[in-house]
Amino acid sequence: LIPERLLFLGPDLAAAHFLVHRGASVKFLGDDAWYQRDKKGNYKLPGRKVPGLHIEAIDASGTELMFEGSRFENLQNLKYLRMLRLADCPYVDDWTLGRIGGMMDSLEMLDLSGCHRISAKGLMGLKMLKSLKYLRLEGIDTKNLGKAALLLEDTIPSLKVLGVDYEHELEMLEADVRLLQNPNVIEDAKGNMFAEDDNGRLFYVGGNVNERPAVCDNDKPIMTSTIRREIPAMSDEEFEKIDRLSGGKLRHLLVGSPSGYEWNSQVC
């Protein structure tokens, strides 16, 4: 945050310039208009502090806003902010949710649909938002999302979480229970599950490990995963059984990356 800009604009108008310049749109309290860039990248916002001008809503959906480090300071002291849409923002992660939970206690509506970098644990960073009424989580496929949603609704009595497929969550939980009933499958303290072969080696078959490889500009995988790719020492019958219980994950993570790349593909 540039101190001079805050001095001349105040927190709300300074935040508005920061957001609109980066492709978001904002709405001020008592004004039905949304302020955003035009096709040429131009926009009209006051150039100096306006008494009584407060941001009520922010729509940053689909933008590439990055909130790391000091950049989040641009959104401090927005005391009248009621709605924040961050749907399909590729850089919104658990750290972002922690900052939202600690800074935006006036929020009533929050949309995180399509934000694939957030986890169930990260969602609990919103538990301090006691005014939150609606939380939208459509299109997010992360483990224990339903459990986190229920815990948030229990912590914030006025909250209604939208977009969670609880039936799918129950099916995933039941699948994990069946997998853990196999005597050769163990679970670590972080909730990750591993198949143990006859030599005592562990092979990841489910849990919280990021199974999606990052890719470079040429769409080639950047191998950062620690998933073991040797062949486990166990009978074919046991291998097929665990592979079936894990939804094909044991075989899939051995012969190729979860996105379909082969492990011997060129890496960046």
Mean pLDDT for the chain overall: 83
What pLDDT score was predicted for residue 3? 65
pLDDT band at 225; cut points 50, 70, 90: very low
Contact 202, 185 (CB under 8 A): no
Contact 126, 151 (CB under 8 A): no
Contact 117, 93 (CB under 8 A): yes
Q: Please say if the pLDDT value at position 229 is more than 70.
A: no
Within its chain, how far is the Cα of 189 from the centroid? 22
Domain ranges of the chain: 4-164, 169-253
Q: Please say if the pLDDT value at position 266 is more than 50.
A: no
List, for residues 63-115, the tens digit of each pLDDT value.
988 776 556 778 888 999 999 999 999 999 999 999 999 999 999 999 999 99
Q: Please say if the pLDDT value at position 258 is more than 80.
A: no
List, for residues 119-166, the tens digit of each pLDDT value.
989 999 999 999 999 999 999 988 888 889 999 999 999 999 999 988
Contact 64, 91 (CB under 8 A): yes
Topology of domain 4-164 in CATH is 3.80.10
Residue 93 has what DSSP assignment? B
What pLDDT score was predicted for residue 253? 60
Q: Using CA atoms, how far apart are residues 68 and 175, in angstroms rounded to an integer?
A: 36
Q: Please say if the pLDDT value at position 268 is more than 90.
A: no
- For 73-197, list the strands marked E by DSSP: 83-85, 109-111, 134-136, 160-162, 185-187, 193-196
Q: Using CA atoms, how far apart are residues 137 and 197, in angstroms rounded to an integer?
A: 38
